[in-house]
């Protein structure tokens, strides 16, 4: 202890008595302190990533609602009004479970009824469609993936009014099939497939993928089209749940009898 005390005293006297030594000591101390503070900030930033990602997801959701409103009416200027009048509400969520190798696949999201989630809501990302909510409880919800044999999505060829049913054949998770496309339709390899205007669960014009192959079936009566997805459904992090605000009104009209 005495040796260490005398060592500190001697170093202190040496630093104070020589300008060059004092400069080197201050410079080295500054580097050490700066490095320590930088490391501390890096650790703090790492543990704040979850909050940052959530904030970014919320901001993207608002931007999607804003974009939907601007598409509907490009003359609107007040962004608050645009979001309020948008047909769709967009809610960010995190995927906590995802299957893609089964015949019928599902995802689990970290939001549920307390976040306004209920069945028959579409789920998308910035690269296309994911599936449809089929169950929810207070804190979690389940999504029927587009990689499910029973799910059929209304879709169309971009730049045309040609529509069809988008389905999965249970084989490749990177491809879906667009079926029931009439033989007179103009179909070209490389054309983009988008969500159709007849869909009530997804906003129209969401890009889904591109045509990789098209062949006539049923004695040349219609096309079967292979669509390569923009989304990588085997690697999903954050998604967006889409609520159609006018869906209850549409369902009410659809269920009216002829004499109502």
CA distance 194 to 205: 5
Tens of pLDDT, residue by residue over 7-59, are: 877 777 775 666 555 555 455 554 444 444 445 445 444 455 666 566 566 65
Angle formed at CA 55 by CA 54 and CA 61, multiple of 5 degrees: 90
Tens of pLDDT, residue by residue over 103-159, are: 999 999 999 999 999 999 999 988 899 999 999 999 999 999 999 988 999 999 998
């Amino acid at each position: 202890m005495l040796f260490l005390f005398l060592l500190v005293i001697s170093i202190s006297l040496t630093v104070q008595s020589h300008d060059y030594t004092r400069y080197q000591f201050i410079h080295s101390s500054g580097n050490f302190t700066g490095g320590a503070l930088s490391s501390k900030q890096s650790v703090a930033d790492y543990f704040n990533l979850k909050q940052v990602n959530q904030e970014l997801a919320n901001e993207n959701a608002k931007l999607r609602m804003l974009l939907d409103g601007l598409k509907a009416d490009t003359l609107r200027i007040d962004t608050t009004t645009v979001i309020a009048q948008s047909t769709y509400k967009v809610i960010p969520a995190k995927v906590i479970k995802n299957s893609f190798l089964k015949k019928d696949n599902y995802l689990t999201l970290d939001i549920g009824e307390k976040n306004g989630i209920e069945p028959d809501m579409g789920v998308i990302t910035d690269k296309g469609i994911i599936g449809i909510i089929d169950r929810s409880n207070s804190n979690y919800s389940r999504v029927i993936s587009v990689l499910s044999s029973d799910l059929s999505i209304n879709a169309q060829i971009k730049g045309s009014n040609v529509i069809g049913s988008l389905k999965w054949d249970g084989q490749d998770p990177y491809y879906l099939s667009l079926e029931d496309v009439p033989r007179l339709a103009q179909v070209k390899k490389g054309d983009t497939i988008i969500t159709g205007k007849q869909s009530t669960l997804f906003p129209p014009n969401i890009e889904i993928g591109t045509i990789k192959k098209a062949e006539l079936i049923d004695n040349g009566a219609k096309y079967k089209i292979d669509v390569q997805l923009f989304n990588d459904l085997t690697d999903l992090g954050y998604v967006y749940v889409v609520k159609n605000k006018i869906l209850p009104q549409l369902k009410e009209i659809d269920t009216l009898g002829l004499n109502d």
